């Protein structure tokens, strides 16, 4: 079913749940910042309700976790270079080595989670499948409920969309039967990750898993995506609980320099790729600056993991580091970004037109949704030029697109993290 905040459902459990006066929740997220931020949003809502929250995540995110008051147990080494290699090709990851790397991630995550999960009542996991598999093994051993959450619909099997292509296992050309493709995906995941998971489970005295994907997802995964932006379609094979997107509370003040830049002229166009590197940062920055200027706007560059920087010293371009998107996006003319779930949702909530330049994973999905909804434009491909980006911006900056973006903003919910916290705490339904 497609449950929302008004029709909550409890977390799936294969075992008993311990009783305690104060619920202790462990959040496990292995991926980029787009995987971490929703968990911190959930953490904030859980803490408001009196729960104790811990997190396991890559060490890159120790700072954001500390700022949120969430103790972090790091999983392995920093993830930034892995993401950079996957996007830029600077650190090739051949498919033939993927099972070995996945097996190491299972073991590394298991070790971190086994330490952090002591005394916890429930576990919520997201991000890369091998890490989630290692986490669920710990939950299984401890006999505590485990929930897997996806931040975009196409991460979950459905007859309405095809799976993501797996490294070394491309989808058959011209294939149109989505259920057959998802059956093939299950086989691919068993081949890529199942053997390593079962080898590790044998070392800790757990029985083998027959279907890797089913083990990670469970029959009742959660979907932390806004129903207007990323709807879950029925009928479907999984009993998906769609809570709405998990957004951190906004309203934090902007840095003084950024505030002064915004106040000094007309709304700029924001360009940023979050925690996603790009293949040619200098070329992307130049294309973006020139395209935005060609549309008659000032430019606001966000450095991020792409390390975007101004291409000259003209005062119509400003570079910003960290800034609260909830505060910033209502003040810009358009948002040019990579298409992460959080950035897409926050721009939509602000009623600000978007141009999505997708790089990987869920980003093509969000680019397509932005175009389908009429709230912006989907750039064709990951490498923008002045001409291609200027054309996309012309669509986004059209008054009709802005009007549509304002209309859709009224449909975007902000209670997803609250709904998820209520489900975990058992205070709803």
Q: What is the pLDDT of residues 81-110, one digit of tens each?
A: 776 665 555 544 455 588 999 999 999 999
- Output the DSSP codes for 109-137: HHHHHHHHTTT-SEEEEEESHHHHHHHHH
- Count other C-beta atoms under 10 Å from residue 213's C-beta: 21
Question: Strand order of the sheet with strand 52-57?
Answer: 72-74, 52-57, 24-30, 122-127, 146-150, 222-223, 241-242
- pLDDT per residue as tens digits for the range 295-327: 999 999 999 988 999 999 999 999 999 899 999
For residue 175, the model assigns a pLDDT of: 85
Q: Is the pLDDT of residue 4 over 80?
A: no
Among left, alpha and beta (phi > 0; psi -120 to 50; other), residue 162 is beta
3-state secondary structure of 56: strand
Could you tell me if 271 and 49 are in contact, meaning their C-beta atoms sit under 8 angstroms apart?
A: no
The pLDDT of residue 243 is above 50: yes
- Quickly list H helices, 220-280: 256-263
Mean pLDDT of 361-385: 96
Q: Is the pLDDT of residue 250 over 90?
A: no
Q: What is the pLDDT of residue 245?
A: 98
Judged on CB neighbours under 10 Å (0-12, 13-18, 19+), 238 is middle
Residue 248 has pLDDT above 60, yes or no: yes
428 pLDDT more than 80: no
Backbone angles phi, psi at 261, to 5 degrees: -65, -45
Q: What is the pLDDT of residues 132-157, one digit of tens each?
A: 999 999 999 999 999 999 999 999 99
Top mean pLDDT of 165-179, 211-225, 239-253, 269-283 is at 211-225
- Residues 363-378, mean pLDDT to the nearest whole number: 97
Q: Which two tokens stand for residue 316?
A: 């119509």
In whole angstroms, give the CA distance from residue 126 to residue 146. 11
pLDDT at 91: 47
Separation of alpha carbons 221 and 150, rounded Å: 7
pLDDT class of 19 with cuts at 50, 70, 90: very low
**Residue 308 · residue 319 · CB < 8 Å:** yes
Contact 265, 331 (CB under 8 A): no
Strand partners, 123: 26, 146
DSSP-assigned letters across all residues of 158-181: BTTBPPPPBTTBPPPTT---HHHH
Contact by Cβ (8 Å): 212, 196: no
Phi, psi of 186 (to 5 degrees): -60, -40
Among candidate residues 370, 326, 369, 374, the one with its CA nearest the CA of residue 350: 326
Buried residues in 169-205 as b, exposed as e (16+ CB within 10 A)? beeeeeeeebeebbebbbebbbebbbbbbbebbeeee
Lowest mean pLDDT among 69-83, 228-242, 379-393: 69-83
pLDDT band with cut points at 50, 70 and 90 for residue 18: very low
Name the average pLDDT for the chain: 91
What's the whole-number mean pLDDT along residues 355-361? 93
**Averaged over 397-402, what is the pLDDT?**
98
Query: Could you give the domains of the chain?
Result: 24-247+414-425 (3.40.50.2000), 256-409 (3.40.50.2000)
User: Residue 361 — pLDDT band, cuts 50, 70, 90?
Assistant: confident
pLDDT of residue 165: 86
């Amino acid at each position: 079913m497609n449950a929302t905040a008004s029709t909550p459902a409890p977390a799936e459990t294969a075992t008993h749940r311990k009783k305690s006066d104060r619920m202790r929740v462990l959040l496990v997220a292995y991926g980029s910042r787009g995987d971490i931020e929703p968990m911190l949003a959930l953490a904030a809502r859980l803490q408001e309700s009196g729960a104790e929250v811990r997190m396991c995540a890559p060490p890159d995110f120790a700072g954001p976790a500390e700022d949120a008051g969430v103790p972090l147990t790091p999983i392995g080494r920093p993830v930034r270079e892995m993401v950079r290699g996957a996007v830029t090709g600077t650190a090739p990851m051949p498919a033939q080595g993927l099972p070995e790397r996945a097996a190491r991630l299972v073991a590394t995550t298991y070790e971190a989670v086994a330490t952090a999960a002591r005394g916890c009542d429930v576990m919520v996991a997201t991000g890369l499948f091998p890490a989630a598999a290692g986490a669920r093994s710990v939950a299984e051993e401890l006999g505590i409920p485990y929930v897997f959450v996806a931040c975009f619909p196409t991460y979950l099997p459905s007859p309405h969309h095809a799976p993501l292509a797996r490294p070394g296992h491309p989808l058959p050309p011209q294939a149109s039967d989505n259920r057959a493709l998802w059956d093939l995906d299950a086989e691919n995941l068993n081949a890529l990750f199942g053997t390593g998971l079962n080898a590790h489970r044998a070392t800790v005295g757990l029985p083998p898993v027959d279907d890797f994907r089913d083990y990670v997802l469970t029959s009742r995964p959660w979907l932390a995506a806004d129903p207007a932006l990323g709807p879950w379609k029925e009928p479907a094979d999984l009993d998906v609980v769609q809570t709405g997107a998990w957004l951190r509370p906004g309203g934090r003040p902007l840095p003084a320099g950024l505030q002064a830049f915004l106040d000094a002229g007309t709304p700029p166009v924001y360009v940023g790729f979050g925690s996603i590197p790009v293949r040619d940062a200098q070329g992307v920055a130049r294309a973006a600056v020139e395209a935005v200027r060609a549309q008659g706007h000032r430019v606001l560059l966000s450095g991020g993991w792409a390390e975007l920087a101004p291409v000259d010293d003209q005062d119509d371009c400003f570079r910003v580091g960290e800034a609260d998107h909830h505060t910033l996006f209502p003040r810009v003319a358009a948002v040019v970004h990579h298409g992460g779930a959080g950035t897409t949702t926050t721009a939509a909530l602000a009623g600000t037109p978007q141009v999505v330049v997708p790089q990987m994973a869920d980003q093509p999905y969000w680019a397509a949704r932005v175009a389908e909804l009429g709230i912006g434009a989907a750039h064709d491909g990951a490498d923008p030029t002045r001409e291609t980006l200027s054309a996309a911006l012309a669509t986004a900056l059209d008054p009709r697109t802005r009007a549509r973006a304002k209309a859709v903003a009224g449909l975007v919910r902000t209670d997803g993290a609250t709904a998820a916290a209520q489900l975990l705490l058992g205070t709803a339904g």
